[in-house]
Structure 1
Amino acid sequence: MTTSMNRRTFVKGSLAASAMAALAACGKKGSTGAAASGEATGGTLNYYINNPVAIDPYDLEEDQGMQVGYQLFDALTTYDFDKGELIGLAAESWDVNDAADEFTFHLVKGAKFHDGTTVTSKSFKQGWERIVSPKTSETHASGIGYHLAMVQGYSELSVGDATELTGVTCPDDDTLVVKLVQSYADFPFVCMHPALSPVPDCAMDDFDTFFFAPVGNGPFKMDGKWEDGQQINIVRFDDYSYGDPAIIDGVHFNIQKDVQTAYTEFQAGNLDMASVPTTQLKDAISQYGESEDGSTVTPGHQVLTGAELSVYYLMLNVADETLKDVDVRKAISLAINRQAICDTVFEGTREPAGGIVPPGIAGYVENSWEFSKYDPDAAKALLDAKYPANADGMRGINVALTYNLDGDHKAVMEMVMADLKAIGINATSNTAEWSSIVTNTYPNADFQIGRLGWIADYPIMDNFLYPLFATGADNNYGKYSNPAVDNAINEARAIADDKEREAKYQEIDKTIAADMPVVPLFYYKHQMVGSSRVKYLHIDPQKLIMMDKVELEA
């Protein structure tokens, strides 16, 4: 999943629970952190977001729209970060065959959509087909159908040669059977993504109406429609089927153009939750107090700085003549002082990345990538034989860094360029609007080095290794290809035992690290603040909030 700045390429991800077992639903999604008091009721949370790409499951591809969609829709499964396990949500349990290529989900019976109609297995099937079919909308293409790429019939439906996902069947209203084209023991993790939520029949009748005022099965329902660039209002759904009704009355999503504007509104008392500009984070902590666990807002402990399942990295075009040389790629990585970037640009609120997989993902190994560290002497040694330095210390190696100027990217890239110059590599800037970069520059591989970020779609190693490094994968913009990696990922997906599968992914991670197709720079952390009105609010490592559990002062 991408962030608001990165769109589809920021942030995707998993802690593996046994896919071979049938798991019971717990009646709530995500993690709640420390127990809420249960005393406060009612009120409306005023929450800042940028203008989203979509709030309809049809195109939930970035974190701003995802926050809204997460409140409106419930998928089959959810991840409990407190317990460290995948649990049921709209599905009360599921079974998987021995080959891990067929999954049978048993739905919560009698669950209701916001329009009063019943959630059935057909609701999931049509929701999934809706995000894959190119015929769903003539004006807005979905960017998230790839989540279902392993389902039988995806290839045909995605190009318009079929009208259904043949691998998804509905034996009865409460049973959904999914047949995959290959083994994938972690598939129930994919099913936690809000994009794979069910949709009622009205979604199939009028795309534009549903897109701006979607009807879901989650704890909140729309109050009016999304006013593009202005606001989105949601209110409690009293007939919520998968847990208790929300504590608060609703949420007012206040759409602002940027973080600074939103923070100014927060300081004026007009918002209850906002992002904090990096340069003001220390002052915010001093004024509002830091969250005790980094992820939970309580009075006097209102600034969130906890870890996220996300990584900021440089993507290297391995087909480029200069970057074909693995020693050049390794030297670039060794030249960059990640700690200095974290300390200087982010005032210590980021953590240097020792690999592409962030902490919090099962299988994470600290500093797993040998060359993802700062060692300029080693970088020079790698280059000396083939690219000797001239009298000015330069080696005739020229690279261009592609990035957008929003946020802190310019400051990060300037430090990267200075570090590269220090080892004799001449680096220049190639800046553009982010929308142009992600729609034209990256898909066409028209770059040498490009900055990207990635946050877990679902918290598994596969969600970092497959989309970024599998041959031909949508987000593998650097055109990296290693048949050994491709084969090993397919083998890992078929392993039923969690620990064995985790160990296999760790081996794959080492193989990729040796090829150095990207340069991990740092792991993200939350950077948000709540107002004194917020009695309790918890954000999980995927930046999602269970707003039905939020408590506000009366």
Structure 2
Amino acid sequence: MRGARSAKWVASAIVVALAATACGGSDDDDSTSDGASDGNSGGGIVRVDGGEPQNPLIPSDTSEAYGGLVMDNIFSKLLEFDDSGEIELLAAESIEPNEDATVWTVTLNSGWTFHDGTDVTAQHYVNAWNWAANVDNNQSSSFWFADIAGYEDVHPEEGSPTAEEMSGLSVVDDLTFEIALSHPVSYYNYKLGYTPFTPLPDSFYDDPEGFGEAPVGNGPYRLDEWNHNTSIKLSTYEDYAGRNAAKNDGVEIIAYTGLDAAYQDLLSDNLDVIRQVDPKDLPVYETDLGDRAISQAYNGIQSIVPVKYGDWENVDPQVIQGISKAIDRETITQTVLNGSRTPADSFAPPGVLGYQEGADGGIAEYDPEAARDLVEAGGGVPNNEMVLQINGDGGHQEWAEAVCNSIIDALDIECTLDIKPDFDTDLEARAANEVQSFYRGGWLADYPLNANFMSELYHSRSSTNYGRFDNPEVDALFEQGDQAASLEETVTAYQEAEQVLWEEMPAIPLWFQNVNGGYSNNVENVAFDTAGMPILTEVTVK
């Protein structure tokens, strides 16, 4: 779930479609030379729309947008990204590689504390990462630590003994630790801008289950109350040491069952920030909200993903290519979505390093005749029908119906929707391998590289690879990209891997995402980051 998370475009703004990954942070120019904040200004509580997190609130077990919205405000990362994708250090004073990028040395800023008042040290990072990587702890983001030397010892093959620690992590002193990798990774510092790489306090290990209900972080907000399926209340952490201290008194994240109800609350000023309006409100929200409406692109993509089990286990990629060409993206984005999306021609959005215009080679272009030819050449759609699973609380039904209708018209097959009541239920069905044929797959940037939109979704070991795509050639290409000698070579290697993805079709990219949201008359200085998540610390209450 998750980073490219802190760069902000300050505008009268807010955030995103309900995708699958973790979320935003922020950046503040009012800081002292040692990174400590000058303090808070403004006041009052900011109410933002959200939903029920899928998992307990532990950094290494949160990889979807609802949980990410919470985690990115109660935990601070080692680094963030500005709006051009450049790294900005936050909790770290420096992150330096050795000559071949196999050892990375992290030096922390001093003065940081957890919400329980205890000091944050290098040992807290090392302990947290060792715990998260350990197979016995069953963390959904454990694969993020796979580059570290000794990962195979804490995450061994089934039946082998499990070690307590990865050999690649070592504490130098209270504010310094080293990360030795099992192979070079030229962009490892980018990965460190994602949620699983945050620290945990000593109290976590006394009761991890209890911690997941009441986490203690190191971020600008502390968690006060989690009323499941209703709201999550955060208050400002007064002793926060980062440059992005909150400019309000706290945040209430309200769980809605649909975007329409959230929008009505916004219009009546009972909600302060809405991250995405319902498709049916797209034609009117800019008129309704005036200069409080926001429409801006961010680093996110919407796809539909075939599953590699059941009737679809051995479907020829040509069939998936044919379905892709049966979808009239241009018409759907202009009509149903009111021009608020851009048809996708790549697996990675334009705002990340390595985006390739026209990478699809025509596979994403609407052509019913070519679509039928490809489906026929690939052996046909199983049982001449497909089912698209979506979550009913995210404003997806209108466009999903349009996608199905386009496929029906072009291919003369049956296409129906399986609408889960909420995102949590949708994710549970994906994790349990209960998707019938396709699911809606959205992704927000965890870091602004093309690799994040490929390896984290389609590598066989990735926990967010819910389609269970497993291709040794693709895995090898991703790993070659990770081990390239420079960032530029890594990006190029992933561009080459993308060409294979268009041949193998682990997903059908639909369109690149836009923020289409707004804010109430109660607040000012609303901003959002390049991953489309709200920068809540910036918001001031009138």
Category of TM-score, reference length = shorter chain: 0.7 to 0.9
Asked if the contact 1:445–1:478 (Cα under 8 Å) also holds between the matched residues in 2, the reply is: no
Cα distance in 1, alignment partners of residues 61 and 254 from structure 2:
20
Aligned to 2:444: 455
Aligned to 1:162: 163
Q: Deviations over 1:175-199 (max 9, x none)?
A: 1211222322222122111232111
What residue in structure 2 maps to residue 379 of structure 1?
A: 371
1:402 is displaced (CA, Å) by 3.3
> Which residue does the alignment assign to 2:508?
519
- Report the CA distance shift for 1:398/1:323 in structure 2 as closer, same or farther (over 3 A): farther
Structure 1 residues 445-454 or 93-102, which shifts more? 445-454
SS at match of 1:305: strand
Q: 1:264 — aligned with what?
A: 264
On the 8 A contact 1:441/1:447 being kept in 2, the answer is no
Of 503, 508, 515, the residue aligned with 2:497 is 508
What does residue range 153-552 of structure 1 map to in structure 2 within 5 Å?
153-158=150-155, 161-222=162-223, 224-243=224-243, 245-274=245-274, 275-289=276-290, 301-317=291-307, 324-370=315-361, 371-382=363-374, 398-404=384-390, 406=392, 407-429=394-416, 431=418, 433=420, 438-440=427-429, 444=433, 447-552=436-541
Contact 1:399/1:425, CA 8 A, preserved across alignment: no
SS at match of 1:365: coil
Match of 2:113 in 1: 112
The Cα shift of 1:64 comes to 1.8
Q: Distance in 2 between matches of 1:108 and 1:322?
A: 49
> How far does the alpha carbon of each residue in 1:66-102 deviate from its partner, in whole angstroms, 9 at most, with x for none?
1222121111111112x43012111111111233222
8 Å CA contact 1:12–1:458 kept in 2: the answer is no
Equivalent pairs, count: 512
Moved more, 440-449 or 484-493: 440-449
Query: Would the aligned equivalents of 2:153 and 2:163 in 1 still touch at CA under 8 Å?
Result: yes
TM-score, with length taken from structure 1: 0.83
CA distance in 1, matches of 2:253, 2:408: 44
**Deviation (angstroms), 1:530:** 0.7
**How far off is 1:124 after superposition?**
0.8
Distance 1:57 1:437 in 2: 21
Instruction: State the 1:413 CA deviation.
Output: 3.5
% identical aligned pairs: 27
Shift in CA distance, 234/422, structure 1 to aligned 2, threshold 3 Å: closer
What is the distance in 1 between the residues matched to 2:515 and 2:204? Answer: 34
1:199/1:395 Cα in 2 relative to 1: closer, same or farther (>3 Å)? Answer: closer
Query: SS at 1:266's partner residue?
Result: helix
- Pick 1 or 2: higher relative contact order, CA cutoff 8 A, min separation 6: 2
Match of 1:96 in 2: 97
1:20 is aligned to none
Counterpart position of 2:6:
none
Extract unaligned runs of 5+ from structure 1. 14-27, 290-300, 388-393
Whole-Å separation in 2 of the counterparts to 1:309 and 1:104: 29
- Establish whether residue 45 from structure 1 lines up as the match of residue 46 from structure 2: yes
Aligned amino acid, residue 182 of structure 2: V
Whether contact under 8 Å (1:29, 1:79) holds in the other structure is no
Are the counterparts in 1 of residues 301 and 348 from structure 2 also a CA contact under 8 Å? Answer: yes
Q: Is the 8 A contact 2:22 2:67 kept in 1?
A: no
For 2:234, the aligned partner's letter is I
Amino acid corresponding to residue 289 of structure 2 in structure 1 = Y
Other structure's SS at 1:109 match:
coil
Q: What is the rounded CA distance, in whole Å, between the counterparts of 1:85 and 1:50 in structure 2?
A: 30
- Pick closer, same or farther for the CA change 1:548–1:337 going to 2, 3 Å: same
SS across alignment from 2:413: strand
User: What's the CA shift for 1:264?
Assistant: 2.4
Q: What secondary structure, in the 3-state scheme, does the structure 2 residue paired with 1:146 have?
A: helix
Shift of 1:106: 0.8
Alignment partner of 2:20 out of 10, 30, 34: 10
In 1, distance between residues paired with 2:79 and 2:377? Answer: 54
Residues 282-308 of structure 1: per-residue CA shift (max 9 Å, x gap): 32210212xxxxxxxxxxx22222222
- 2:217 aligned counterpart, secondary structure: coil
Contact 1:395 1:424 in 2 (8 A): no
Distance across 2 between alignment mates of 1:408 and 1:241: 38
Question: 1:439 Cα shift?
Answer: 3.6
Secondary structure in 2 aligned to 1:114?
coil
CA RMSD of aligned residues (A): 3.3
- Following superposition, the deviation at residue 445 of structure 1 comes to 7.6
C-alpha distance 315-538 of structure 1, shift in aligned 2 (>3 A): same
Residue identity in the other structure for 2:492: A
User: 1:233, 1:396 → 2: CA distance?
Assistant: 47
- 1:405-431 per-position Cα deviation (integer Å, ceiling 9, x unaligned): 514444334333333333334133362
Q: Is the 8 A contact 2:114 2:216 kept in 1?
A: yes
Alpha-carbon distance between aligned partners in 2 of 1:437 and 1:48, rounded to the nearest angstrom: 19
Question: Contact 2:185/2:482 (CA < 8 Å) preserved in 1?
Answer: yes
Superposition pairs of residues 114-153 of structure 1, within 5 angstroms:
114-133=115-134, 142-153=139-150
1:532 Cα deviation from its structure 2 partner: 1.8
Shift in Å, 1:481: 4.3
Structure 2 Cα separation of the partners of residues 34 and 307 of structure 1 = 26
In 2, the alpha carbon distance for the partners of 1:317 and 1:119 equals 42
Alpha-carbon distance between aligned partners in 1 of 2:333 and 2:293, rounded to the nearest angstrom = 18
Deviation at 1:161, TM superposition (A): 1.3
Is 2:22–2:64's contact at 8 Å kept on the other side of the alignment? no
Deviates more, 1:504-513 or 1:482-491: 482-491
In 1, Cα distance between equivalents of 2:389 and 2:239: 46
Are the counterparts in 1 of residues 20 and 65 from structure 2 also a CA contact under 8 Å? no
Query: Relative to 1, partners in 2 of residues 1:363 and 1:449: Cα closer, same or farther, differing over 3 Å?
Result: same
Post-superposition Cα deviations, 1:505-533, rounded to whole Å, max 9, x if no partner, equal 21111222133332111122123211122
